[in-house]
Amino acid sequence: MAEKFDAIVVGAGPAGNAAAYTMAKAGLSVLQLERGETPGTKNVQGAILYADALERIIPDFRDDAPLERHVIEQRMWVLDEKSFIGTNYRSDAFNSDQPNRYTILRAPFDKWFSGKVKEAGALVICETTVTELIQEGKKVIGVRTDREGGDIYADVVILADGVNSLLAKKAGFHGELEAKNVALAVKEIHFLPEEVVQSRFNIKGNEGVVIEIAGAVTHGMVGTAFLYTNKESITLGIGCLLSDFKKAGIAPYTLLEELKAHPAIAPLIEGGEMKEYAAHLIPEGGYKAVPTLYGEGWMIAGDSAGLVNAVHREGSNLAMTSGRLAAETVIALKERELACTALHLARYKTALDDSFVMKDLRKYKELPDILHGNPHFFSVYPQLLNRAAHTMLMVDGQDKHSKEKTIRGSFVQQRSLWGLVGDAYRMWRATR
Ligand code: FAD
């Protein structure tokens, strides 16, 4: 029989790297397999890195991780065709020596993380695709790869192979990914001189600004857009549910072109040289779409388990946390000389349930269905809010009481009184 490892990790994204690093650091024999030429070549993210999740795995990551800017300001914009209404939060408190959020570029970041995994003692093999799980009855005992003689065995396999985990599907651990539970996102990176990025966003040094965007740019489809500042570039992207793209017959790239041309966005990227374009799926089905997370000899983490908080645009931190918790489950079992049976691996689910990962997904469990059934949240309200701001801010001789009446009238005309009450109730239910 071929060599046997304590654990095999499939995938070298944030979930796989967190799992492989944690187990290797604890002295377990770990094999990590990645289909990309190097870790990161197949991966797409905005990308905001949430420090906390990584800090719990590599406390001193700030010493050498390739970080772009630390985020000191978040803007939330709701667009109509010509304008936007929004909020900003900017704080000097984010300028501490332990910033909470960074922008990153995934290719160099994943490469760095993978270097740490190797330093910790894991065997990392790239350009190797796991084609299926090797099972003995219901128990997963290893993986089959696309290499000659590529069957490899382990006590446990952690699936961290990203959204639409084909391996889990093939093994019957979950069904087909439904189009209503997954967003298709496209993004571009526009390069600009560092000082231009700084002056356009009123930042200095490595400070950064991120803008989360909703409204007219998604044509009423369930989705959002984003703009993130990097050191010498700006990342701009947009994503909507795959089911909505299918229904609307609009190409994602059309939305990105419209976003770039919007009067609020165009001046921010003007003169930039577009060097990178990418498209990727994001699992956005939320709590109700999370599949079975463990079984005999296997666990599933990160995007492959649907662990994305679409409301707060958090994914990589849920991936790292689930990867770490899966690894800690294996470490605890090894310490007590317990086998990686479903009964024992159930601790992984308990740990996830006790963490922010499942607590946050549970909080928003009704949101995907509610948004799906109420497209006016993405079409009617952005128009109404922008028009209300315009009406109120135009100084045109009309008194403010009359303006308020006009605004109230426009809301009632579009949604009716009961419609407005119903929408408020639905939003409360979706986010309570
Ligand atoms: P992945 O990063 O997808 O990694 C999976 C890895 O497995 C890949 O390297 C892949 O090549 C490998 N693999 C797959 N199949 C096999 C196989 N059979 N054999 C071997 N290897 C395999 N999250 C945030 O936290 N902040 C953001 O700002 C943010 N922005 C985003 C913007 C966009 C446009 C997108 C698409 C996502 C964004 N996310 C963001 C979500 C985030 O990218 C994901 O949640 C995160 O990458 C999930 O990590 P993962 O390790 O589970 O999966």
- What are the structural domain ranges in the chain? 4-67+104-175+291-354, 180-283, 368-431
CA-wise closest residue to 379 among 347, 415, 409, 404: 415
C-alpha 167/C-alpha 130 separation (Å) is 8
Name, in order, each residue with C-beta under 8 angstroms of 94's C-beta and a sequence gap of 6 or more: 70, 71, 72, 73, 100, 101
pLDDT tens, position by position, 297-324: 999 999 999 999 999 999 999 999 999 9
Is the distance from the beta carbon of residue 35 to the nearest atom of ligand 1 less than 6 Å?
yes
Q: How far is the CA of 152 from the centre of ligand 1 (A)?
A: 24
The 10 Å Cβ neighbour count of residue 9 is 35
Looking at residue 372, what is its pLDDT?
85
Q: Is 173 exposed, middle or buried (0-12, 13-18, 19+ CB in 10 A)?
A: buried
**pTM for this model (two decimals):** 0.95
Count of alpha carbons within 13 Å of 40, Cβ hemisphere only? Answer: 15
In 10 A of CB 3, how many CB atoms? Answer: 10
Residue with tokens 């500042």: 229
Contacts of 232 (CB under 8 A, 6+ apart): 191, 192, 193, 194, 197
Amino acid letter at 105? L
In angstroms, what CA-CA distances link 336 with 6, 64, 141, 142, 322? 14, 35, 20, 22, 21
Rounded to 5 degrees, φ, ψ at 80 are -110, -160
Ligand 1 binding pocket includes 48 (Cβ within 6 Å): yes
Give yes or no for residue 160 CB within 6 A of ligand 1.
Answer: yes
Measured from the Cα of 305, ligand 1's closest atom is 52
The count of residues in the chain is 432
Query: 7 phi and psi, to 5 degrees?
Result: -150, 145
Topology, domain 180-283:
D-Amino Acid Oxidase; Chain A, domain 2 (3.30.9)
The arrangement of secondary structure in 4-67+104-175+291-354, i.e. its CATH architecture, is 3-Layer(bba) Sandwich (3.50)
338 Cβ contact partners less than 8 Å away, ≥ 6 residues apart: 344
Which residue type is seen at 56?
R
**What is the number of the ligand 1 atom nearest to the C-alpha of 131?**
18
Element (H, E) at 55: helix 51-55
Do 382 and 389 form a contact (C-beta atoms < 8 A)? Answer: no
Q: Cα of 121 to ligand 1 centre, how many Å?
A: 23
Residue with tokens 């009359």, as numbered in its chain: 402
Q: How far apart are alpha carbons 228 and 88 in whole angstroms?
A: 14
- Asked if residue 129 has its Cβ within 6 Å of ligand 1, the reply is yes
pLDDT value of position 164: 86
* Residue whose CA lies nearest to ligand 1 atom number 3: 162
* Residue from 259, 175, 255, 272 nearest 221 by CA: 255
Residues 6+ apart with CB under 8 A from 59: none
Which residue, 202, 190, 258, is CA-closest to 227?
A: 190
Helices 417-431 and 400-415, packing angle to 10 deg: 80
Quick check: do 4-67+104-175+291-354 and 180-283 share a fold? no
Residues of the chain short of pLDDT 50, as ranges, are 1
R_g over Cα of the chain: 23
The two tokens of residue 403 are 């303006």
Sole residue written with tokens 């397999």: 33
Q: Using the mean position of ligand 1's atoms as its centre, give its distance from the Cα of residue 281 in Å.
A: 9
Classify each residue of 212-250 as buried b or exposed e, where b means 16 or more C-beta atoms within 10 Å of its C-beta. bbbbbbbbbbbbbbbbbbbeebbbbbbbbbbbbbeeeeb
CA atoms of 71 and 90, how far apart (whole Å): 9
Measured from the CA of 228, which atom of ligand 1 is nearest?
Answer: 28
The CA distance from 124 to 157, in Å, is 14
- ipTM computed for the complex: 0.99
Q: Is residue 195 exposed (0-12), middle (13-18) or buried (19+ Cβ within 10 Å)?
A: exposed
Strand 223-229 versus strand 233-241 pairing type: antiparallel
8 A C-beta contact, residue 143 and residue 16? no
What is the Cα–Cα distance from 188 to 174, expressed in whole angstroms? Answer: 32
Q: Please give the pLDDT value at position 2.
A: 63
Q: How far is the CA of 306 from the centre of ligand 1 (A)?
A: 11
Q: What are phi and psi of 96, to 5 degrees?
A: -70, 175
| Helix orientation angle between 400-415 and 376-393, rounded to the nearest 10 degrees | 170
Residue 175 tokens, joined: 């069904």
Evaluate: CB of 20 within 6 angstroms of ligand 1: no
273 beta partners: 191
Question: Which 3 state secondary structure label does DSSP give 312?
Answer: coil
C-alpha of 378 from chain center:
20
